[in-house]
Structure 1
Amino acid sequence: MSAFGKPRVFVPVVTPFRPDLAVDTPRFIAFCRWLVGQGAGLAVFGTNSEANSLSLAERRALLDAVLDADVDAAQLLPGTGACAITEAIELTRHAAAANCAGVLMLPPFYYQGVSDDGLFAYYSEVIQAVGSDALRVLLYHIPQFTGVPISHALIERLIAAYPNTVIGIKDSSGDWANTEAMLKRFPGFAVFPGSEALLGKALPLGAAGCISATANLQPHAIARLLATTTAEDRAMWEAKVTALRTVVQTLPMIPALKAVVAHHMKHAGWSRVRPPLTAFSTEQANALLAQLDGLGFSMPPVQQVAA
């Protein structure tokens, strides 16, 4: 069993923006509360949160706002990776001081072809600078975005050096062979596939759950899949969550997610993205919504926030 106990779903929460592209904090908090109520944890400042379009100050302030709204820190797994090690240290220290369940750390992603020695030094410097026994680090492997893969040899080295701190990884590579190999090679290490569609294969091998973009749309269904105890129910929930994932993952993920949330939250502002991303057109959004309607998809209501 992983450090997280029973398998869990964490959501890289999409970030709403106002017309001036400032973060819409009240709407973000309302959505976070809804997700927790649906049985999900919050991987705020993940890829699909547009984390790398948010400043360090914005990320700190938004995490504080969520905590001030009485969201349990044990539900929080904020992204704290950054190209600048000083920023990674500050974000990680802030999350550890708040007693978050852990942090999800991208490798520094500008320089290509860096060695495992360089990546080990990066993670080691952050861990030692934070200097907190409460710190729990999950690595974040998404080489198609970062260009910086996290090798199994690096994982092994970090676990050996920091066995109580480096406790898991999110594998968003989409390479099942890699996920499977990590699950078999590192028993007890919290391996989170980046897609709920892989849970049918990953859970029997000890996966810790998933950290998935499309959990923004179907947190309850994924939580039910993780909690089910019968083969019949498991097959039903696997089919349900995989069907939605299969539709959405063929599209530009962030604008697709935000278009669906905007429709179901009845607030067009949810569809805004920060440049260089571009929002879905009305035609794109309607085509996606029609596909999801065909699956019988719906989202339970979220507490409305004044415009």
Structure 2
Amino acid sequence: MTTQLRGVLAPVLTPFKPSLEPDSERFVAHCRWLLENSAALAIFGTNSEAASISVPERIALTDALLEAGIPASKLMPGTGACSLVDAVALTRHAVANSAAGVLMLPPFFFKGVSDDGLFAYYSEVIERVGDERLAVYLYHIPQMSYAPITLGLIERLLKRYPTVVAGAKDSSGDWNNSKAMIETFAGGGFDVFPASEAFLSKALPIGGAGCISATVNMNPSGIHALYQAWNGPDGQSLQARADTIRKIFQAVPMIPAMKQVVSVFSTAPSWRIVRPPLTGLSDDAANGVLHQLQAAGFEMPGYPAC
């Protein structure tokens, strides 16, 4: 297993050109800014629009980061796919390039699949990759995948692959589920990342590893400060500040809202582009988000204009 990632990770937004091709230059610039503000990079997560990005495009964007000097030790690429073959290809590429781990969504088209089916899927990927450096983080997002990562499934996978199955991201939004994951498995080195900074002050005291949150794209330094000082004299105010920013974005479709805001701070209108089937925010909704953020004193200090 490679170096473990803990702390604050961003499911990195993916910029597109007007042609709808990925914009690798802006992708690299955004990743650099996140690293400079103490966030690691969960590239190709839900908020990256990963399900709309092909295998060759994901590999090319990963290569662009590595060629630009972004440390592989800060990368947790999303490699899950409905196709077992695609998942293996993406995972092999990540491991071959020394990524710290891979975040693996379960196959999400067929509904009502059993733990046996999901165990077979993860087992097949792990066996086919066949590399001792592989660290798999299971991605629990049942409201989107309809294929939940149950405690029983985690137990089975850990029993079979104790040095490979490294943790989970819990995007269910259910604190009780995150709490059960942490309390059941974290003591054995299984790292659990809730998908919202709103849970940091609850998760960290009981062994949570940090968070992998959409709004790390917007507020990396603030969320990292909370991760570091949750139990200090400023912990409550840091949590409240992070929650305020989070609530503004989650009140509207988050991906187009975040891209709209990045377009303002980068002075790059193309940052607003989302790939179909997603659509951008209306002017009224975009102005509302920007007004609320301004009232909250929100900034993206040092964001590269391009």
**Separation in 2 of the partners of 1:252 and 1:229?**
28
Counterpart AA for 2:235: R
**Separation in 1 of the partners of 2:104 and 2:208?**
19
Question: Could you tell me whether the CA contact under 8 Å between 2:38 and 2:220 is conserved in 1?
Answer: yes
TM-score of the two chains, using structure 1 as the length reference: 0.96
- Residues 48-127 of structure 1 correspond to what in structure 2 (within 5 A)? 48-127=47-126
Query: Cα distance 1:5–1:108, how it changes in 2: closer, same or farther (>3 A)?
Result: closer
Considering Cα pairs closer than 8 Å and 6+ residues apart, tell me whether 1 or 2 has the greater RCO: 1
- Residues 114-193 of structure 1 correspond to what in structure 2 (within 5 A)? 114-188=113-187, 189-193=190-194
Number of aligned residues: 303
Counterpart AA for 2:43: V
**Separation in 1 of the partners of 2:277 and 2:168?**
28
Question: Could you tell me whether the CA contact under 8 Å between 1:4 and 1:190 is conserved in 2?
Answer: no
TM-score of the two chains, using structure 2 as the length reference: 0.96
**Separation in 2 of the partners of 1:304 and 1:251?**
25
Runs of 4+ in 1 over 6 A off after TM superposition: 3-6
**Separation in 1 of the partners of 2:239 and 2:230?**
13
| 2:226 paired residue number | 225
Could you tell me which runs of 5 or more consecutive residues in structure 2 were left unpaired when the two chains were aligned: none
| 1:40 paired residue number | 39
**Separation in 2 of the partners of 1:61 and 1:126?**
21
- Displacement after TM superposition at 1:251 (Å): 1.3
Question: Could you tell me whether the CA contact under 8 Å between 1:7 and 1:207 is conserved in 2?
Answer: no
**Separation in 1 of the partners of 2:260 and 2:37?**
20
SS in 2 for 1:187: helix
- Displacement after TM superposition at 1:227 (Å): 1.5
| 2:198 paired residue number | 197
**Separation in 1 of the partners of 2:202 and 2:6?**
14
Question: Could you tell me whether the CA contact under 8 Å between 2:230 and 2:236 is conserved in 1?
Answer: no
**Separation in 2 of the partners of 1:120 and 1:103?**
17
SS in 2 for 1:109: coil
Percent identical among aligned pairs is 53
Could you tell me which runs of 5 or more consecutive residues in structure 1 were left unpaired when the two chains were aligned: none
